[in-house]
Structure 1
């Protein structure tokens, strides 16, 4: 009997662990911090990438597609995760990378790992990348590469939001507030839908400067996945530290101290910004004494 191609056959660790963190800075605010360790779901396809890719990969396989095509920047965790999923399941992968000037240059570790996992990289200029959802651009990619199943940038679509709803369900009864970093909004869209709207709320921290636009994008994703806005959620756009992949000395110091205190080195692009924002909100008194806050470690 042939085993169907599915990420579920790769033995994910689900539900992902929840670990309590003891920190006197939060204790003084009456806040209990829990870490939702989605980074431990799978050694190669971690965190929200697993949840966002699971149903997309299934849809590709069910539709008879042997090729996944997706988009990302030079340091995209999504590209690397898609490449790993393709290699593990025997699917070809193509990554459309923002930045034509990168073609021919030595690959950074993220893109090099994607190539090692069999991903074919296609570099495009930034103007073309901004038009990546337009039919003319998709048609040109199909002409160049042949038929493929398209996974959007960051993996965020209705299938991804549906997959991330499991994250919210796993946290029901565990926390009062859930915090998560936001790149494209798909994780928060699903997470909020899976939480109990009567007792839980979610806060998303965009890692891009000017990330307020994600409010509309998250609502669009929820409409596509669930038919309406779901859950109690909001964005806090203050903690981008200058923009995507921008890192300041202050953020580095916070991440280093968190690592020293708790033995977990947070990813600087996403997770460290979310944790910094979570601690800042606690210090501002946003959370009532006794609040349990679960911070999602997305990878």
Structure 2
């Protein structure tokens, strides 16, 4: 763990744990011969699935939101180079990708044996992978925090927490009240029960997914952190500390799920909400 040193923290201590949640989400999802998943044109989830498919000899299919644009951007080029077959859904159909109608059509097209992984990778198997994280943290702590896009990471962390600890997720998108239901649903699917040791803070989305403000930009420049997820979580933690939300002596672990990245504007035009997937290239 790396301690975040900032005089504004006072007697509260914050420790950074760097952990890429993509491999955790995929770890228990790789026992298939063929795997189909969804994402936007700049989705790190698409990239991660393609890479895992190449490494483990799994045939992968990426269903990309919107129309094909050639030449492929670097994310999709990398996915294709890993052997992923790319296909596209128009935005109306993409919004219905979770429905039985669309999934039956996809299985008819790609084969009944294809396993379908949700956008962002959050399912019961992903939750079980993320639940392993708390057990790998060697230092003592009271609270663990993580960014929340689809809810899978928080659902797993909560399930794996030792007794007496609690988890706080920081939503990175606007209007994310539905995420509490998603976290509970994922826990039920993974363990047939839910936990009460977690909460989601909705106050630090800064206008919505991949949106920012001058205040957040200054924070990113100061701490040199990934902007879509990590910056919003860390800003929220420090702001809550300033407000006295944590008792003196509280030890907080902040899960850093990404490295510093360039801005969305520098990467390309936003393509719409991607269920917790960054649109910018790292």
Give the TM-score band, short-chain normalised: 0.7 to 0.9
Alpha-carbon distance in structure 1 between the residues aligned to 2:148 and 2:180: 11
SS of the counterpart of 1:57?
A: coil
Secondary structure of 2:64's match?
A: strand
Q: Which residue of 2 aligns with 1:225?
A: 190
Q: Which one has the bigger helix percentage? A: 1
Matches within 5 A, 1:160-175: 160-171=126-137, 174-175=140-141
Query: What is the alpha-carbon distance in structure 1 between the residues aligned to residue 196 and residue 56 of structure 2?
Result: 34
Superposition deviation, residue 120 in structure 1? 2.0
Q: Report 1:1-299 matches (<5 A).
A: 18-26=1-9, 28=10, 30-38=11-19, 47-58=20-31, 60=32, 65=33, 67-100=34-67, 103-146=68-111, 147-171=113-137, 174-197=140-163, 199-259=164-224, 266-299=225-258
Q: In structure 2, what is the equivalent of residue 263 of structure 1? A: none
Offset at residue 133 of structure 1 (A): 1.5
1:171 touches 1:195 (CA, 8 Å); kept in 2?
A: no
Question: Which residue matches 1:3?
Answer: none
Whole-angstrom CA distance in 2 between matches of 1:223 and 1:35: 29
**Matched position secondary structure for 1:288:** coil
Normalising by the residue count of structure 2, what TM-score does the alignment of the two structures yield? 0.86
SS at match of 1:229: coil
Q: Give the Cα separation in 2 of the matches to 1:204 and 1:119.
A: 32
Residue 272 of structure 1 and its aligned partner are, at CA, apart by 1.2
* SS of residue in 1 equivalent to 2:79: helix
Moved more, 207-216 or 163-172: 163-172
Q: Which one is further off, 203-212 or 164-173?
A: 164-173
Query: 1:114–1:174: structure 2 CA closer, same or farther, 3 Å change rule?
Result: farther
Aligned length: 257
Separation in structure 1 between the aligned mates of residue 233 and residue 73 of structure 2, nearest angstrom: 24
Runs of 4+ in structure 1 deviating by more than 6 angstroms, as ranges, are none
How much does 1:214 deviate? 0.5
Contact 1:188–1:204 under 8 Å retained in 2: yes
Larger RCO of the pair (alpha carbons < 8 Å, separation 6+): 2
Shift of 1:175: 1.3
Structure 1 unaligned regions, length at least 5: 1-17, 39-46, 260-265
